[in-house]
């Protein structure tokens, strides 16, 4: 495994991060425990979860994933071996069953307390805002369209004050953002620069893959100049970059088959691009899944690649991508495909 530090800290994390959002729906508690055992045994010490998981969000499964991680910590007593990130759910129609008061001080505090209890831990290493409260372009929206009915008032200072208090209490260690835009990212960073004592966002968890490189427009420069590390999610495009959906295949237990509304990686341009990446991988004798992950793993703005799997076989292949070095010919092929069909799955 290759390791790096969370920006502005001495916390060493694996460049492969274990994603968990299938546990409690597509995976059982036993399978979640098995994945954590396997990941830790193979050098992965960075786990990412959220109070919302598993997906799709549902009141009957609320926070089941965090509970599975908590029972694993209790069983093994190895909390100190893991760098753990979780998230507070943002405002949305599908999160009203969790809470409706956004990122207010009471909301953040109650979310942290709930996560600590479910995770059976005294602290969270990286506490993240799952997506912005304001209306903006995330979750598959290409461009920003201003909504005059959005009455969001800028509360970023207050959010960071609440996070500061929780850090002082020892309940969280560091702060991250997720599904953010360049504007939102700079607002958070500027607020902590201008006001001494406010915590600095050290990571941004956004989608990044061969099918979605929008992070490179605006956010990559911010990441490199401001040293806010990308935690890349959906590096496999909901599994499409494994090739398992090629030719119209619909594996019975796969995510897109089970949840057809998760279709941002399944439009015609994305399918065409996936076919081209598959041909490129075959030409060079590579697993397309590992080629896709190896590309993400080596980006200069990356801190860690979040991989999710529903089987140990998938997880093993994903973790082993860290050892794959793509040669110049493969990288040139990737750029040629990207230039012909740029960002087909925002």
pLDDT the model gives residue 204: 98
The pair of structure tokens assigned to 345 is 């799955």
Indicate the range of 118-122, 190-194, 266-270, 278-282 predicted with least confidence.
Answer: 266-270
Q: What is the spatial distance between Cα 148 and Cα 146, in angstroms, rounded to a whole number? A: 6
Nearest CA to 157 among 101, 111, 225, 103?
103
pLDDT the model gives residue 150: 86
Indicate the range of 132-146, 177-191, 203-217, 301-315 predicted with least confidence.
Answer: 132-146
> Which whole number is the average pLDDT over 44-60?
97
Examine residue 346 and state whether it is found in any structural domain, yes or no. no
For residue 86, the cross-strand partners are: 127
Average pLDDT, the chain: 96
Indicate the range of 76-80, 243-247, 316-320 predicted with least confidence.
Answer: 243-247
Query: In the structure, what pLDDT confidence band is assigned to residue 86 with cuts at 50, 70 and 90?
Result: very high
Examine residue 92 and state whether it is found in any structural domain, yes or no. yes
Class of residue 111 by CB neighbours under 10 A (exposed 0-12, middle 13-18, buried 19+): buried
The boundaries of the domain holding residue 159 are 3-340
Total count of domains within the chain? 1
- In this structure, what CATH number is given to the domain that contains residue 329? 3.20.20.100
Examine residue 323 and state whether it is found in any structural domain, yes or no. yes
Instruction: Supply the residues annotated as catalytic.
Output: 53
Examine residue 345 and state whether it is found in any structural domain, yes or no. no
pLDDT tens digits for 224-272?
A: 999 999 999 999 999 999 999 888 887 777 777 778 777 788 899 999 9
> Which whole number is the average pLDDT over 2-17?
98
Cβ proximity of 183 and 106 under 8 Å: no
The pair of structure tokens assigned to 119 is 């995770």
> Which whole number is the average pLDDT over 14-21?
98
Omega cis (within 30) before 300:
no
Cβ proximity of 115 and 124 under 8 Å: yes
**Of 224 and 138, which is predicted with more confidence?**
224
Confidence check: pLDDT of 120 > 80: yes
Confidence check: pLDDT of 141 > 90: no
Query: How are the residues of the chain apportioned to helix, strand and coil, as percentages rounded to the nearest 5?
Result: 45, 15, 40
From its phi and psi, is residue 57 left (phi > 0), alpha (psi between -120 and 50) or beta? beta
- DSSP for 170-212, written as a single string: TSEEEEEEES--HHHHHHHHHHHHHSTTPPPEEEEEEE-BTTB
Class of residue 126 by CB neighbours under 10 A (exposed 0-12, middle 13-18, buried 19+): buried
pLDDT the model gives residue 108: 98
pLDDT the model gives residue 264: 83
Query: In the structure, what pLDDT confidence band is assigned to residue 68 with cuts at 50, 70 and 90?
Result: very high
Examine residue 140 and state whether it is found in any structural domain, yes or no. yes
The pair of structure tokens assigned to 13 is 């994390």
Examine residue 127 and state whether it is found in any structural domain, yes or no. yes
């Amino acid at each position: 495994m290759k390791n790096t530090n969370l920006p502005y800290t001495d916390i060493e994390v694996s460049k492969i991060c274990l994603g968990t959002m299938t546990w409690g729906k597509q995976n059982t508690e036993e399978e979640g425990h098995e994945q954590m055992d396997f990941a830790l045994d193979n050098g992965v010490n960075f786990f990412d979860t959220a109070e919302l998981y598993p997906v799709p969000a549902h009141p009957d499964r609320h926070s089941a994933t965090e509970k599975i991680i908590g029972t694993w910590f209790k069983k093994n007593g190895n909390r100190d071996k893991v760098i753990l990130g979780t998230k507070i759910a943002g405002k949305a129609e599908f999160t009203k069953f969790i809470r409706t008061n956004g990122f207010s001080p009471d909301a953040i505090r109650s979310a942290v307390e709930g996560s600590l209890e479910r995770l059976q831990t005294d602290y969270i290493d990286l506490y993240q805002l799952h997506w912005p409260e304001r209306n903006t372009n995330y979750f598959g929206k290409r461009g920003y369209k201003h909504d005059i009915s959005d009455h969001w008032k800028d509360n970023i200072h207050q959010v960071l004050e609440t996070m500061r208090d929780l850090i002082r209490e020892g309940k969280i260690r560091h702060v991250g953002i997720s599904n953010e835009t360049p504007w939102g990212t700079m607002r958070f960073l500027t607020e902590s620069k201008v006001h001494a004592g406010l915590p600095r966002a050290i990571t941004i968890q956004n989608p990044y893959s061969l099918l979605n490189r929008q992070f490179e427009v605006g956010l990559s420069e911010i990441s490199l100049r401001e040293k806010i590390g990308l935690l890349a999610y959906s590096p496999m495009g909901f599994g499409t970059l494994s090739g398992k959906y090629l030719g119209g295949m619909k594996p019975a237990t796969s995510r897109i088959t089970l949840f057809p509304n998760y279709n941002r990686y399944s439009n015609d341009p994305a399918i065409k691009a996936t076919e081209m990446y598959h041909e490129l991988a075959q030409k060079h004798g590579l697993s397309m899944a590992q080629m896709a992950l190896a590309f993400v793993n080596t980006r200069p703005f990356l801190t860690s690649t979040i991989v999710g799997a529903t089987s140990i076989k998938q997880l093993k292949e994903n973790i082993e991508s860290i050892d794959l070095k793509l040669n110049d010919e493969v990288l040139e092929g990737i750029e040629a495909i990207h230039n012909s069909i740029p960002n087909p799955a925002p």
